[in-house]
Amino acid sequence: MQNTANFLQSVTTGFTSIINTTNLKDSYISVDLSTGNKELDKVDITRANECEAYIKQQLELKNGTVAFGGYLEKRNLYANNENFTKQSSDVRNIHLGVDFWADAGAEVIVPVSGVVHSFKNNNVFGDYGPTIILEHTIYEQTFFTLYGHLSVSSLNNIYVGKEIVQGTVLATLGTAEVNVGYAPHLHFQLIMDIKDFKGDYPGVCTKKDLAYYAQNCPNPNLLLKI
């Protein structure tokens, strides 16, 4: 069996768009929301409106349509949420997926064919809001993709086992209100072993748990090749 990185890279054959834009690679621009970005010293990204304004500024500066980034990024984005900071010595602030920041209502395109594993509206402040998880079995290997911060309507007409074809529209992005506190974006995460989770899976971890989650949640760009 080939290793995980090689397997995931083999699933797609080049740049694979996940937000329905012009599908041009150049329309995606990287954005840094890490604690190391000094520009954020003047921006309170825990406030959805300020975070959204910063993202839009970056898109305008770089002539982009979708801002993306954040894999294994240490962030202050969750600093005001007690679900992430209950114990100061055990803070969850390392991001396990890639975020794609775009306008609310933007369409989410499925990068790999699969079936619906589970779905749920995680409508607690700071959580995912509406979430869909797909299951993929390719070359006799199974993995999962998680799509968080969707619109409520994205959960209509969906059911466990529903087949979703690569390149079709899975969902649309929710507003900040539906996202339970975040500016409009897609949280996209790979999961190799989902255990008993349904419609949910940790998207942020502590430093002490990083080794496990980094292995179980590989870089989504292995698939997307942006």
List domains and CATH numbers for the chain. 26-224 (2.70.70.10)
**For residue 79, what pLDDT is reported?**
46
Q: pLDDT, tens digit, for every residue of 23-70?
A: 788 899 999 999 899 998 888 888 889 989 999 999 999 999 999 999
Q: Residue 132: pLDDT band by 50, 70, 90 thresholds?
A: very high
**Does residue 84 carry a pLDDT above 60?**
no
**For residue 2, what pLDDT is reported?**
59
Residue 45 or residue 173, greater confidence? 173
**Does residue 78 carry a pLDDT above 80?**
no
Residue 82 or residue 162, greater confidence? 162
Average pLDDT across the chain, whole number: 91
Q: From the CB of residue 68, how many other CB atoms can be counted at a distance below 10 Å?
A: 24
**Does residue 1 carry a pLDDT above 50?**
no
**Closest C-alpha among 158, 159, 131 to residue 145:** 131
**For residue 224, what pLDDT is reported?**
96
**For residue 194, what pLDDT is reported?**
98
Q: From the CB of residue 11, how many other CB atoms can be counted at a distance below 10 Å?
A: 18
Residue 138 or residue 82, greater confidence? 138
**Does residue 207 carry a pLDDT above 60?**
yes
**Does residue 21 carry a pLDDT above 90?**
no
**For residue 88, what pLDDT is reported?**
52
Residue 75 or residue 14, greater confidence? 14
Residue 179 or residue 65, greater confidence? 65
What whole-number distance in Å separates Cα of residue 170 and Cα of residue 158? 9
Q: How far is CA 23 from CA 20, 69, 95, 147, in A?
A: 7, 17, 25, 19
Q: pLDDT, tens digit, for every residue of 93-113?
A: 899 999 999 999 999 999 999
- Report the predicted TM-score, pTM, of the whole model to 2 decimal places: 0.92
DSSP 12-79: S-S----B-SS--GGGEEE---BTT-GGGGG--TTSHHHHHHHHHHHHHHHT-SEEEE-TT-BBSTTT
**Does residue 206 carry a pLDDT above 70?**
yes
